[in-house]
Structures are given as C-alpha cells and as structure tokens.
Chain A
C-alpha cells in the first residue's frame, strides 16, 4: 500500500524486537467480543488512478458554477481566486503543519495569523480579531454567547429578520441548552426599514444583544448607526454580521458604524464555494472585550535574543487550560482557509479590494436594471451591494428549476430557506460578483422574461 512504508520483513523485525508473536498480541486489551477477525464489507484498496477516476465520476454529476451563468449567493459567493493563493496554501510547510504549539518552528503559521488578525480587524473596523472560527454561522452563535457574558445577567438576544436563516437556526441550536432567550423577528424582504424599526422597538432592559446582518439575506444594506445607538442606550450590544466580506471594500465597516462585535463569513476572499465548507469564520471586537473572546489569538513578542516573534497568547480563555470554564469549547480554527484569505487580501491590497467591490456592485446595479423591466418581476432593493431580491408573480422555486435547464443558475428561492412561509414563496435572491458578465445578465433577463410570459 503506497502510504505504508513497512513491508512484511519490517513488520516481523519490529514484532520480534518488541517480543510479540503477532500483531494480535498488541491488541490483547480489546475485549474478545469486540475483536473483528474478518475484513469489513467495504471495497478493497485502489490505485491512485482508480481513485482519480472515481472522483471524476462524482464530479461529472455536478454542474460547476463556471459552466453556467451563475447568480447563486445567499451566504456563499463565487469570486475569482488567483492561482497564486491555491499554490501557496499547498506548500507542505503550511498544509501539513499542526496548530503552532512549538512557536520556534511555527513562525510561518504564527506570522500569517498575526497578519490575518490585523487584516480582519482593519477590514471589519474593530480593535482586535481572533485567528478565525469555523464559519460565519458558528461565529455568530459565539458572538451571542459572548455578548451574554459581557452584559452579565441579560438573557435576550434579538435577531433581525434579515439575518440569514441558517445563522438564526445555528444561534438557536447553540443557545438552546443555556437560559438564553433568542427572539427571531420575521423576515420582511419587502420592507427593509420596517425590519430595523421593529428591531429597535424590541430592545429592552433584558436585551444582551441585537444581531443585524448587512447586507442582509435579501441584499438590503443597513445603516447600523441608529441601531447601535438604540442598543447602547439600553445597555445592549450590537452584533453585526457580514456574509459577503467583499462588500467592505465599498461599504462603511460595521465597527465604524458602532458595532461591538463583528462576525463575518470570510469565504469570499481566497476560498472556493466547496459546496458549503470548509469556510472561514471572522470574529472581531473592541479591545476591552478581548478576554471574553472565543478562539485562538496570536500575539507579538520577542525571543531570548530579542528578535521579534509571534506566539499563541491569552490561552487561559481556552478549553485546554480552562476546561469547563472556557469561553468556548472550540479547539481548532480554519487555519488554511485563513491563510488563503490573507494571501488573497495581500494580492488585492486596499485599492484592489475597493475596485473589486465596486465591480461587484456595478454588476448588481446592472442586474437590477435588467430585471426591473420584466413583467411579473419586482426588484425589492433600493440600497444593496452585490445581491438583490425580486418578488415574482409566481413561486420562485420552479422558475429556478426551469432556468437551470437553460444553463442559468438564477439564485436562491427563499422557499429553500423558509419552506413554511407562504409569503416568501415568490421571493428569489440573486447575487452578482465580478465573475458575472454582462452577457450572463442578458441571458438571465431574456430567459426569465420568456418564462414569465407563460400564464400562471
């Protein structure tokens, strides 16, 4: 077997050195009733060529984004990732390293994480960011728990209606065995301002935090300033959620608008769609809250010769030291995904990111213009970044299926996320990144107009 260096001679020599008659001797602590004598009913080993072929077969049964006009977003976005990124993250010294527990021989990982923390903090407009969490949704759940720790005694988290429904679900799961009270406002894609008004009205003296996504799940951009003000007036924190971080190249950062904790899905920078994972949870906050933060942190220090170096720090917050009193049970982060983010962000730089963001936004304004003229289609967004929602005169899911047949993946029908809400059945959410061409937009609007011609 190609991954196993021993041959039978090696094995016999080692067993004999140990003084064992056979390998079974070494498994003698296993209760006899649980010993497997025969092979399990699974296929036998395969050559690399056979494995390669099998996975090409799997891949062939999928439609990659690149082969269709592609408007699917809603929490995961298809951007062009420079080839450099994927090359560098596959260097064995990065790919096959462990968590940097021995800093003298892990400065590569530690330095890029320090760069990553700085980029994330600056991008989100916060004092400090951690070395990443699993993804945006779990980061959002962790933020709610952190707000609870900071606002001691307050138990209610209020989630805006425009928060990604999966994020709301994850928040409910993560808090269901505490005494946290998670209030989810109903989604109202046709009334973005109403969502914010209801959120502000819901804040009371028992509120630990309000959770607002911008751009929200339906593409609406929100000014967080008034919400931060309302939350702070009642002693609550504002948790801001960003699922499309490219937006921050064009839109004011949540930190600048007054958010206390900012979480984001960082997949858009450096990472492929990957059918939903692995992704990259970004987490940033104010300096004064750093000890309540979950996840790993890298800090600057010096070595015995006075040379600058980096180490994992403030570890006493974490499970391996605090055990049941840790801020979170989290152990690993999304190391390699954060490296991809850092490299891509370095390639972009501030100017590149601004330009990329504006390209995304420009395509969305063109999409809106193209869709606005179609009979039976109403675009719901007045302020947006690279994603808009439309209300159709009929259920959206069959329209999406029909468009898929015409090599157009037209976005996410809201019914996929809210199957029980009839009022959302006609909503379709469409995203445009820099990968969406004007031709793609024309193809979509033509095909959609054609489909909408048909009688209901």
Chain B
C-alpha cells in the first residue's frame, strides 16, 4: 500500500473494493446514492408546505359542484419538499454535471445571467392580456429578438410564437400549404430525406401531405438526382435539415432550392443545426422559404429535462404573408400586438397558440445573443465546428466514421468498429455512462448502422475533449479485446442498472396507486 504525503492511503483497502461490499446498509441508501421514495409514499393529505390564511365561512357560489372526493394529492412540509426534489435531482445528469455530447440536441452551457434576467418582475410577472401600454418593454424584447433572428438568417420576417422545433415545423408547413392553396394549387407530396428527424414526416402528415422519402448518397447527403427525379407538379415542397443529421453541410443546397422552386414547390429547412453556421452562413442566401430555429439549441435556452422549447420560424417574402398571428408592430402610440386577422385580405393561416409564444425563452435567447454579439456568435459556430472536427479526427483511428470529413457541428460514427465484438452501440453507450459521460445520440440518423452521433458544442474545452477522446479510445480497444462484460452489463456505476423497457410497455404502470387499491383491483 502506498501512502501520500498527508499519510492517507491512496488505494482502498481490501475490505472496500467496489465489487464486494460485505453487507447491505440498514437504510437501503449507499452513501450519496440515496434511495428516494415517491411523494405518494412519504406525504399525505394532511401535510402541507404552505401557510395560507384561514378562509372562514362564506356563501359559496359553486352551483353545488363542490369537490368532495379524496384527491390523492399528498403534501410535504417545505424542508421535506426541498430534500425530496434535491435527492431526485442528484439522480440526473445535466450539462452542469459533465460532458453531454448528445448529437443533434446541442447540449451547450446555459448561462445563468439569462435565468436571472428572465426572472425580473418586469419580464416574468406580466400578463399576456395586460393593456399594451403596460408592456412596452416586453413588446420591445419581441421586436428586438425578431430583428436578431431575421438579420442572422437573412430572411425578411419571423413568426415567434411556435413553442418548440416540431411546432415550428408545423408553422412552416402550414404556411407553405396556405400559400399553395391561395394560388389554387392542391399539391399532395412533401419530400423528406431518409436521414430526417422523425418530426419532419410526422409534421408533413399532420398537414395532410403524403411523405416521400429521398435517399442519401454515399457521402451522407441528399441524392440530388433522386431528388430531381422525385420533383413534379404534385410536390408541395421539401423538408431538409441543413447542416443535415449526419453533421454534414448539404453542398448542393442552392441547386436543391433552385430545383424545388423550378418545380413550383417550397423549401422548408429544418434549422435544428443552425448553431453550426450562425454568423457564417445566412439561410436566406441558400434559397430557403422557411426555417425554424430552436432557441433551446442554437441560443442556449435550457433544455429543462425535455422543455420548454421555443421554435420561431423565419419566412421568405413569398411565405411571409401566410405566417401566424400574433405580430409585434410599431404604431403612433408605441408598440402593439396584431392579435387578430384583418377582416379582409389577410392571408395569415391563423393562430398557433394562446397568447404570444414563449416569452421566457425569448428573454433568455436575446440575452444570449447580446452577450455574444455578432462577433461572438460567429465564433460560436467556428468553435462548435472545430470541436466536432477535432473529435472526428482523433477518434477516426479507433472508431469508424461514417463519412469523409470535414463535418460541421457533430461527428457521425457507425458500429463497424464493433463488428464481431458482441458489443452493440447501446452497450457502448452504457459503458460511457460508467466513464462519467452522457452518451452520444444512438441509432440516429437511420441511414447508417448503429449510429453514434457526437456533438461536443463550442462550450467544451480542449482538455475535456482530450479526456473524452482517451476514454472513447480505451473503450473501443476494450471492446475489441473481448472485455464484453464491461459493456453488456453496463452501467455498473449509475444509480440504477439497465431498466426493463419491455416490462414497462407490456404492463404499463403510468401512475401510482395505493397498495391496498391494487389488491382490491385484483
């Protein structure tokens, strides 16, 4: 046993190896691995963490509709509540915890100044239906955000209200369909590349279109010839992600746009990956007609464990008149909201959401844009692309890149390097958890086998990347050295082992029920 300078042993003794704990703890906890029950198991209806004044007696005016059942909503005191949710949080991995290279999701640092300003009472404690004279600052935020977005994309107009990327897609395709209908054109087909996010075909179908898949060519891009062959008088448009989901810039994009326009269709660009090109390329210069921007990706609003997002859509001149209400406009008495369609001649396809969209996200995104400025945003794209190419290059010898570089903001590998090892992409991902990383995106895009899509983002340092590269190389070598158990049994060091998803789907338990009522039901 070696000793360090302070006299503490630097290696663990024989009785404290990770694998062989000789006892079970009495509490079920294991140090910082705390087992936390559901609130339904620790709270009850007679506990509460708020103090409210006594209501006293008064004549109800509820029309005899008083609620009398037991609601099944347990309460906890404030300290118990804080502890419960703090413990739950400790079972989560976020960007704050470590490197989170989840491809196509853009897990970049979330600056806290954005959180702070979004909570200023003047921005958070205002109602969407207050008189416009009392919310001039909020309308100015919307106006200024719109200015940044249209300038960065080189597009003439933007609809801010869509609540997420997929909602933005809906907004864009609805505008396209409205524009086609306005010219009496009942086209029926939307072209979607095979590599697209699932939201693209789902959106097209939602708007009543048939979806036709366009194959990829050998270098991971849209097969231009196949695309041109698919175009015709029945094609309403194309939904294309650029940079695409393989992390590649569509080199033929201008030719694609021209071909689509020539055939009378519109070009919808999925802007999920705008973070790769912001400040270096304006989508407006590529010939697109509509594009959504995920404020929670490119502009760093927090993902929050799955939302809220925000998906403003920029429009070309041809589509701008069809964009949804509301809009901020400038009048003689200041800014105002156009919340309704004009009585005549208004081409807007209508309203997508109650109120005005994700104000809380607008504030955060605008704060992020202002912090970076025109210069910083360009650097964002450059560093994101630099980091991805560095990983692509450094991992190329141990893993199998799917396509020739350079890539844009993310690097795509497939599972050829795991061939005959008995280790799958899923196993490899779970082993990364043991190494302290959040796994990359797995099995997407669908165009390569066992896809591993790695997006480092610009907010990771070279040191972090170098450590990650070393871990990935070591794992790839271990897989090829037949250390299969390390993968197939992984994760070993997470709060839980692998979860039985089959059981969850075969006998869905979607809410908690009290044990006695379970018995009664049987």
With A108-B88, A336-B305 as known contacts, state yes or no: A64 contacts B121, CB within 8 Å.
Answer: yes
In the complex, A227 has a CB within 8 A of chain B: no
Out of A42, A52, A349, A384, name the residue touching B61 (CB < 8 Å). A384
Q: List 30 A-B contacts (CB under 8 A).
A: A1-B376, A18-B390, A29-B248, A31-B251, A34-B286, A36-B281, A42-B148, A62-B134, A62-B135, A72-B130, A96-B107, A98-B102, A98-B105, A134-B163, A134-B308, A137-B353, A138-B352, A173-B350, A275-B356, A276-B128, A296-B306, A301-B509, A313-B505, A313-B508, A319-B201, A332-B307, A335-B304, A339-B85, A349-B49, A412-B129
In the complex, which residue of chain A has the Cβ closest to the Cβ of B406? A26
A51 touches B370 (CB 8 A): yes
In the complex, which residue of chain B has the Cβ closest to the Cβ of A23? B382
Interface centre among A5, A10, A78 (most CB of B within 10 A): A5
With A108-B90, A276-B355, A400-B131 as known contacts, state yes or no: A52 contacts B85, CB within 8 Å.
Answer: no
Chain B min CB distance to A262 (Å): 14
With A60-B122, A346-B76 as known contacts, state yes or no: A104 contacts B305, CB within 8 Å.
Answer: no
A97 touches B305 (CB 8 A): yes
Chain B min CB distance to A453 (Å): 22
The 7 closest A-B pairs by CB, nearest first: A349-B75, A59-B122, A276-B355, A92-B96, A383-B63, A61-B137, A336-B304
With A29-B406, A111-B88 as known contacts, state yes or no: A278 contacts B202, CB within 8 Å.
Answer: no
A277 touches B127 (CB 8 A): no
In the complex, A422 has a CB within 8 A of chain B: no
B353 touches A76 (CB 8 A): no
Contacts of A349 in B (CB 8 A): 43-49, 73-76
Out of A87, A221, A300, A331, name the residue touching B199 (CB < 8 Å). A331
Interface centre among B61, B110, B356, B509 (most CB of A within 10 A): B61
A383 touches B62 (CB 8 A): yes
In the complex, B253 has a CB within 8 A of chain A: yes
In the complex, A302 has a CB within 8 A of chain B: yes
In the complex, A123 has a CB within 8 A of chain B: yes
Chain A min CB distance to B292 (Å): 12
Question: How far is B87's CA from A111's CA once the two chains are assembled, in angstroms?
Answer: 11
Chain B min CB distance to A39 (Å): 4
B96 touches A96 (CB 8 A): yes
In the complex, B439 has a CB within 8 A of chain A: yes
B134 touches A404 (CB 8 A): yes
B127 touches A78 (CB 8 A): yes
A136 touches B354 (CB 8 A): yes
B439 touches A102 (CB 8 A): yes
Q: How large is the interface on B (under 10, 10 to 19, 20 to 34, 35 or more residues)?
A: 35 or more
Question: How far is B134's CA from A412's CA once the two chains are assembled, in angstroms?
Answer: 13
Contact residues of B between 421 and 471, Cβ < 8 Å to A: 429-430, 433, 438-439, 444, 458-462, 464
In the complex, B329 has a CB within 8 A of chain A: no
B351 touches A368 (CB 8 A): no
A351 touches B46 (CB 8 A): yes
In the complex, A456 has a CB within 8 A of chain B: no
A305 touches B123 (CB 8 A): no
With A45-B371, A301-B501 as known contacts, state yes or no: A62 contacts B137, CB within 8 Å.
Answer: yes
Question: How far is B304's CA from A48's CA once the two chains are assembled, in angstroms?
Answer: 23
Chain A min CB distance to B54 (Å): 8
Question: How far is B393's CA from A312's CA once the two chains are assembled, in angstroms?
Answer: 34
Out of A134, A253, A302, A401, name the residue touching B67 (CB < 8 Å). A253
A333 touches B306 (CB 8 A): yes
Question: How far is B107's CA from A102's CA once the two chains are assembled, in angstroms?
Answer: 15
A93 touches B129 (CB 8 A): no
Chain A residues bordering chain B, tally (CB within 8 A): 204
Contact residues of A between 41 and 85, Cβ < 8 Å to B: 41-46, 48, 50-52, 54-66, 70, 72, 74-76, 78, 82, 84
Contacts of B302 in A (CB 8 A): 95-96, 336
A72 touches B120 (CB 8 A): no
Contacts of B45 in A (CB 8 A): 349-351
Interface centre among B40, B100, B282, B508 (most CB of A within 10 A): B508
Question: How far is B519's CA from A251's CA once the two chains are assembled, in angstroms?
Answer: 30
Chain B min CB distance to A345 (Å): 6
Chain A min CB distance to B324 (Å): 7
Contact residues of B between 278 and 292, Cβ < 8 Å to A: 279-282, 285-286
Contact residues of A between 126 and 185, Cβ < 8 Å to B: 127-129, 131-132, 134-138, 164, 166-167, 169-170, 172-173, 176-178
Which of B16-24, B225-233, B357-365, B473-481 is the contact stretch? B357-365
Question: How far is B27's CA from A331's CA once the two chains are assembled, in angstroms?
Answer: 39
Question: How far is B387's CA from A43's CA once the two chains are assembled, in angstroms?
Answer: 26
B127 touches A176 (CB 8 A): no
In the complex, A376 has a CB within 8 A of chain B: no
Contacts of B198 in A (CB 8 A): 318-323, 326, 331
Interface centre among A17, A313, A401 (most CB of B within 10 A): A313
Out of A14, A129, A324, A416, name the residue touching B129 (CB < 8 Å). A416
Contacts of B373 in A (CB 8 A): 42-46
Contact residues of B between 484 and 522, Cβ < 8 Å to A: 489, 491, 494-501, 503-505, 508-512
Question: How far is B390's CA from A25's CA once the two chains are assembled, in angstroms?
Answer: 13
Chain A min CB distance to B212 (Å): 10
Question: How far is B134's CA from A60's CA once the two chains are assembled, in angstroms?
Answer: 10
B281 touches A251 (CB 8 A): no
Contacts of B382 in A (CB 8 A): 23
In the complex, which residue of chain A has the Cβ closest to the Cβ of B134? A63
A43 touches B66 (CB 8 A): no
Which of A201-209, A228-236, A353-361, A442-450 is the contact stretch? A353-361
Contacts of A89 in B (CB 8 A): 304
Chain A min CB distance to B352 (Å): 6
In the complex, which residue of chain B has the Cβ closest to the Cβ of A10? B462
Out of A3, A61, A303, name the residue touching B372 (CB < 8 Å). A3
Out of A28, A91, A95, A135, name the residue touching B110 (CB < 8 Å). A95
Contact residues of B between 125 and 173, Cβ < 8 Å to A: 125-131, 133-138, 140-141, 148, 151-152, 163-167, 169-170
In the complex, B383 has a CB within 8 A of chain A: yes
Contact residues of A between 101 and 121, Cβ < 8 Å to B: 101-109, 111-112, 114-115, 117-119, 121
Question: How far is B201's CA from A347's CA once the two chains are assembled, in angstroms?
Answer: 42
Interface centre among B44, B306, B360 (most CB of A within 10 A): B306
B308 touches A45 (CB 8 A): no
Contacts of B66 in A (CB 8 A): 250-252
B462 touches A350 (CB 8 A): no
Contacts of B32 in A (CB 8 A): none
In the complex, B182 has a CB within 8 A of chain A: no
A135 touches B202 (CB 8 A): no
In the complex, B418 has a CB within 8 A of chain A: no
Give 1 or 0 for each of B167-184: 1 = CB within 8 Å of chain A CB. Answer: 101100010010000000
A40 touches B126 (CB 8 A): no
B376 touches A45 (CB 8 A): yes
Contact residues of A between 281 and 340, Cβ < 8 Å to B: 290, 296-305, 307, 309-311, 313-314, 318-326, 328-337, 339
B279 touches A104 (CB 8 A): no
B512 touches A118 (CB 8 A): yes
Chain A min CB distance to B268 (Å): 13
In the complex, which residue of chain A has the Cβ closest to the Cβ of B441? A101
> 5 extra interchain contacts, Cβ-Cβ under 8 A, other than A62-B135, A276-B357, A335-B304?
A26-B385, A93-B96, A173-B351, A351-B75, A382-B63
In the complex, A256 has a CB within 8 A of chain B: yes
Question: How far is B109's CA from A223's CA once the two chains are assembled, in angstroms?
Answer: 49
Out of A62, A362, A385, name the residue touching B58 (CB < 8 Å). A362
A173 touches B406 (CB 8 A): no
In the complex, which residue of chain A has the Cβ closest to the Cβ of B73? A350
In the complex, which residue of chain B has the Cβ closest to the Cβ of A11? B386
Which of B5-13, B111-119, B259-267, B313-321 is the contact stretch? B111-119
Question: How far is B56's CA from A75's CA once the two chains are assembled, in angstroms?
Answer: 27
A172 touches B166 (CB 8 A): no
B379 touches A109 (CB 8 A): no
Contacts of B393 in A (CB 8 A): 17-19
Question: How far is B201's CA from A325's CA once the two chains are assembled, in angstroms?
Answer: 8
Question: How far is B151's CA from A138's CA once the two chains are assembled, in angstroms?
Answer: 30
